[in-house]
Chains A and B, each alone.
Chain A
Amino acid sequence: MQEMIESGLLIVVAVLSVILLLIGQRPSSGMTKRQKIMLGRILTATVLLLALQTLGSSVFDQLGAAGRWVRLALYLVDYLIIGYDILRKAFKGIRNGQVFDENFLMAVATIGALALAVYENGDYLESIAVMLFYQVGEWFQSYAVGRSRRNISDLMDIRPDYANIERDGKLEQVDPDEVEIGSIIVVQPGEKVPIDGVVTEGVSTLNTAALTGESLPRDAKAGDEIISGCVNMTGVLKIKTTKEFGESTVSKILDLVENASSRKSKSEDFISRFAKIYTPAVCYAALALAVLPPLVRMFALGLDAGWETWIYRALTFLVASCPCALVISIPLSFFAGIGGASKAGVLVKGSNYLETLSQTKVVVFDKTGTLTQGVFEVNGIHHSEMENAKLVEYAALAESASSHPISKSLQKAYGKEIDRSRVSDIQEISGNGVIAKVDGHTVAAGNDKLMARIGVDYINCHSVGTIIHMAIDGKYAGHIVISDVVKPTSKQAIQALKAAGVQKTVMLTGDAKRVADQVAQDLGVDQVYSQLLPADKVEKVEALLKDKPEKAKLAFVGDGINDAPVLGRADIGIAMGAMGSDAAIEAADVVLMDDDPMKISTAIKISRKCLRIVYQNIVVAIGVKLICLVLVALGFANMWLAVFADVGVMILAVLNAIRALFVKNL
């Protein structure tokens, strides 16, 4: 019975390797040359082994005394065909002082088994089969890992291969690296936009899915800024480039994604440290298993030593102990997780951040541009001492130098070209407002703190919004109400975070208390701190960091434009709406490619799934290993089982790791 199973297994291996060799002939299979050679070796060794087994030892016995050695020689040839590289690597390892690795384990185990077989003139099959199945496992591992690595890389590859330049009325394809700033490039329907620029001609819709995970197309027309990495869908666009290829969005993102898996997580560090201790430990354990029990039996119990049994067990123990499944599947899981996240429009800068993200229990938001649109509109003008339009004009002029969203909305309300020459002596007071000279009048525009600072009585406003108090020549001139619009998905996003297990949500804002409280209540945010200066935000985050338990991590979400210090201070910084904002990509650890706050909970869920898979792999791989080792030590398992346990766990772990790539239904 046992013999039939063994022969059956060998036939399966032979047939499989023929099929795989045929598949390998096609270029699309992605098999490397080394993998094909290995397949050939596996096939040859299997067929030879099958032939030798079918002949049986009786045939060789007929040759007389020499028969035993002929048989041994043939088996040895087979052993070398399948295992010579392992032996060579093990030997090199010993010479280089790196004794304990899996090659060493396999070499010692199989040579040991072979030696036992020679001594008994018994079954050579086992040691060769163990080497054979180990190689089969290694082959599958290298093929599966290579395959999935390529798949994930392809998925993240948004690299444009060429740019079209018009020369003498003809389109010419050039390397995007060679296109200079200010050149006109042509992007045809179906092509990727290779370089950031401004549309000069043409109307089209763009698919930004590769960048944002957002399937809704965007429109583009002459005058619009356009970022690289989008796919042009309908019309031909002519684009004047504003950046070099290396500085374009697509290159930045690629750079980020490619470097992501270089930042190692604690789990990965743990595994590489574990592997360094594990292998020597197992070797010593095997040595102990081979020597101690027979000695105890001999001297303490007065029994027969049974050296063969215990040496065999020790060798099996070595085979069973290979840490491959663990070492390969953990980085692969993280890589797949990062790949899956980038498919959903979430760029994670490293496995370590994915790990932190999964432990997030406190999420701190910046209000403006994160939970709200950051698009302010003038909604009311109260208590004005002059014409409303005139007040807005003064406000717009005074704030003309600021890039704050509020000044933009004032300029929008003013509606005319700003004549900068009318403004002088601009003095920005951070967190308060602006004092400037406009047409010879001293205009102060800002919040109540500014009014208090310059000693002007102001009238409080009942409307919710940002209130710009105005004082002209030291006299109160009324106030302008500007309010921000909450993003449509913000409320849902907060709920989704709660559902995902986030314990506390906090909102920080420089805005007035009333506005902030109102928004916080509408959205269901737990805590709100308002009227903060940029420096206060850092302080608040530090206080929150101190408050929370050690294990819970704090994430800060901002728009990345003025939040850089806070993004850096939090356990993990998440920047939103990073399309085109270099500062955000630089400062944050996680970048959400579009403005949707829902993506925060998506990112957390992706990280949780990935980490769950990592832990499953660690537990299953180590668990099965330990069980096997115990079974082997007690003599319940033979070398066959040990190899199958090793290869089986490895394949399961790799398949499980690939699961991290699928993030659709989270």
Chain B
Amino acid sequence: MTPPAPLIIINDQRYLQHDTGGSDHPESPERLDAIRASLDASDCLGDVCFMLPQAADRKWLTTTHSENWLFRFEESVLTGQTYIDHSDNQVCYDSYDIACLAAGAGLTAIDVLEEGKGNSVFCLVRPPGHHAEHNFPFGFCFFNNCVVAARYWQQKYGKKRILIFDFDAHHGNGIQSAFEEESGSYYVSIHEHPSFSYPGTGYGDEHGTGEGRGTIVNLPLLPGADDQQVQNLLQDVILPQLEEWQPDAIIVAAGFDAHKADDMSGLHYSTEVYYTLGKEIKGWADRFTNGQLLSILEGGYELTVLGDSVESYVRGLLGK
């Protein structure tokens, strides 16, 4: 039997069909083209195996979202609406199906991991997910891909201490909403400070409530923060926290919009910081989850640096 590739990437040409209405919308199909072009030109390509996703069943989507939202989303696109609730959330006729396919990538990945066919899977999907809430879309996101994956991992494979680590420049309000009142799931997010950045949530003193008290760690950075501050948080704050929590599954909400060239945030990361992130996260997986790791693409909008940033993260995951 052929040994599994060090990294499996789940991607599908159908993700390009989610049409956000033209070139002025940052969450464009060209994002995935730019990523694929950088990966195709990378010497990491030999260590990567590509797979297609299965669409998520309604059963799994409703672990995270209301039936009402699923009906409303489907009906909105079929009746030809161009956006839902807010002009940020642009849709086309195919958007519901493509969002199901984006949410399904995480589930396909988890089956791969649990069946021992691979140890590290990266889902290159769109639309992104971490802003999507239980009952409504938000900030370009329709289904919360990371949370749907977490519920699948918990319910189908019995994971007890699941971690979502989010390094997108924006706080994942939808992930926090899903996790903040429960034990057994943890959310750590490094993002631009909510006083300066969308979506205006993710203050450092939000730690979860009730049974979820202590399960949320928000690490807001001021505009202009750079690689060194990320490095410090990884070593001084996040790693000690993970040692305490001992997660048994790790999902990464991998967003690349904190790059200094990306004007969707005021953060000032270099391309190289994504290598550091990849390497560090791979280290957590080796230490806490027998190497099992699931990464899911979130934001990243500046096409001139997005591909190289993702390639850098992949290189870090591979330790190359």
> Is B a genuine binding partner of A?
no
